[in-house]
Amino acid sequence: MPRNPREWIAVLWPAFVSACLLEMVVFAAFDPHDFNLFGWQVDAEERDAVYSLAFFAFWAIGIGTGMVTWALSRSSEEINRWQRRVPLTLPLPGSPPNPDYRGPNPPPSVPPGSA
């Protein structure tokens, strides 16, 4: 997910503009009154609802494609940033300890004879 407002705007604004353009193109070619959805005929009063629902559907599709574009445009350093701080594997036996490893804290030692 985008982390700062600039990244969100880079996803949302092109999706909004593309939804506006797609809305104009689709409804310039098709009249909602001509739609017959599962036996439901769109009345003249319901045209605004069809325009609104279609716009938000187009916008959601644009946001989805923008998120995929954002995810694919990230560099490997951004994706693997967390791996620099915590190595994925423990050191092998006999190898020098890794100074960057911050594994779980060892359990507190129990003094002998207290158990």
- Two tokens at 52? 């609104």
Structure confidence at residue 75 (pLDDT): 84
Those residues whose C-beta lies under 8 Å from the C-beta of residue 93, and which sit 6 or more positions away, are none
Note the pLDDT of residue 49: 84
What is the percent of the chain with per-residue pLDDT over 70, rounded to a whole number?
70
Compute the distance between CA of residue 80 and CA of residue 98 in angstroms, rounded to an integer.
19
Nearest to 26 by CA among 54, 2, 56: 54
Average pLDDT over residues 60-89: 80
Distance, C-alpha 85 to centroid of its chain: 24
Distance, in Å, from the CA atom of 5 to the CA atom of 18, rounded to the nearest integer, reads 20
Q: pTM surpassing 0.85?
A: no
The tens digit of pLDDT for each residue in 19-33 reads 999 999 999 998 887
Of residues 84 and 17, more confidently modeled: 17
Q: With contact defined as beta carbons under 8 Å apart, do 71 and 81 qualify? A: no
